[in-house]
Amino acid sequence: METERREITVGDLTFDVRVGGPDRGPWVLLLHGFPVNSSCYDDVADRLHESGLRTIQVDQRGYSPGARPEGVEAYRLEALVDDALGVLDALDVPYAILVGHDWGGIVAWHLAGKHPDRFTGLVVASTGHPSAMRDAIKDPDAVDDQREKSAYIKDFIAEGAEEMLLARDGVLLRRAGVTAEELAPLLEPGALTAGLNWYRANFTGDVAATLSCPPIEIPTTLVWSDGDTALGRAQAQGSGRYVYGDYRFCELPGIDHWIPQKAAKELASEIALRSAVF
């Protein structure tokens, strides 16, 4: 099923968006993470269309050339949340199923926690509830060392991170699982800086206050893969403590961090389950 490419204006920014699926299908908003754009969901979206769902794939702030403001402060979490709501408003979508992976997962948790009236269900891949992440980092007896897993963030916020990540044709990103096709948009002027600014704006200063997120009261599924080297089991399994509605934890064995690309079938199935009305 073909997807329609649109340019959606929110304030003074223009986002590249793809809309696809049956005209009367329930809406699904798909939010990507770093450093890939919304194309990471292509296989997921195709499967959702077959399930009768209508998808919105957004190249978020910094990933759409027309939504790439300068300055670190432009990438604060509250702006990222407002962008997603603005896209829904521009498309006249009153409510949707919400899906996020990696950084898109952080945005999704905040959207669900702060605007539960806009979403019928939440499916997050890899990224636990921010409070569960806080707990995992602070707990010396956690099943894994989330502090060590998150150590790469210091490199991402450091000066010169762009040069480090793009050196030798982006070898560090490619070793982490980013494909050549996914790497190409990051070579556009300012693109990688914009992606890194998500980290610089939100993982400096009072990080706990910045990421503080309410408990979730809508039906929620967390999909986590045991091969994830950045986001560990403790932050994933601990997320259920911060979901007050129906909650499901789905573990994918043998899959690395890139769930939308590597486990599209499984992720699409979990999203479709959240769309079902019982």
Q: What is the pLDDT of residue 133?
A: 94
Q: Encode 45-74: b = buried (16+ Cβ within 10 Å), e = exposed.
A: bbbbbebebbbbbbbbbbbbbebbeeebeb
Question: Domains of the chain: which residue ranges?
Answer: 3-275
pLDDT per position as a tens digit, 257-275: 999 999 999 999 999 999 8
Side by side, the strands of the sheet bearing 3-10 are 3-10, 13-20, 54-58, 27-31, 96-101, 119-125, 220-225, 247-252
* pLDDT < 70 positions in the chain: 1, 143, 277-278
Q: What is the pLDDT of residue 277?
A: 60
Q: Where are the beta strands (DSSP E) in the chain?
A: 3-10, 13-20, 27-31, 54-58, 96-101, 119-125, 220-225, 247-252
Q: What is the pLDDT of residue 22?
A: 95
Q: What is the pLDDT of residue 1?
A: 67
Q: What is the pLDDT of residue 278?
A: 44
Q: Are 5 and 16 in contact (CB under 8 A)?
A: yes
pLDDT per position as a tens digit, 89-119: 999 999 999 999 999 999 999 999 999 999 9
Q: What is the pLDDT of residue 276?
A: 77
Q: Coil, strand, or helix at residue 215?
A: coil
Q: What is the pLDDT of residue 33?
A: 97
Instruction: Report the candidate in 33, 204, 230, 212 with the shortest Cα–Cα distance to residue 146.
Output: 230
Q: What is the pLDDT of residue 241?
A: 97
Q: What is the pLDDT of residue 2?
A: 76
Helix/strand/coil percentages in the chain, nearest 5: 50, 20, 35
Q: Coil, strand, or helix at residue 91?
A: coil
Q: Distance between CA 45 and CA 62 in Å, rounded?
A: 22
pTM of the model: 0.96
Specify the CATH superfamily of domain 3-275.
Answer: Alpha/Beta hydrolase fold, catalytic domain (3.40.50.1820)
Q: What is the pLDDT of residue 53?
A: 97
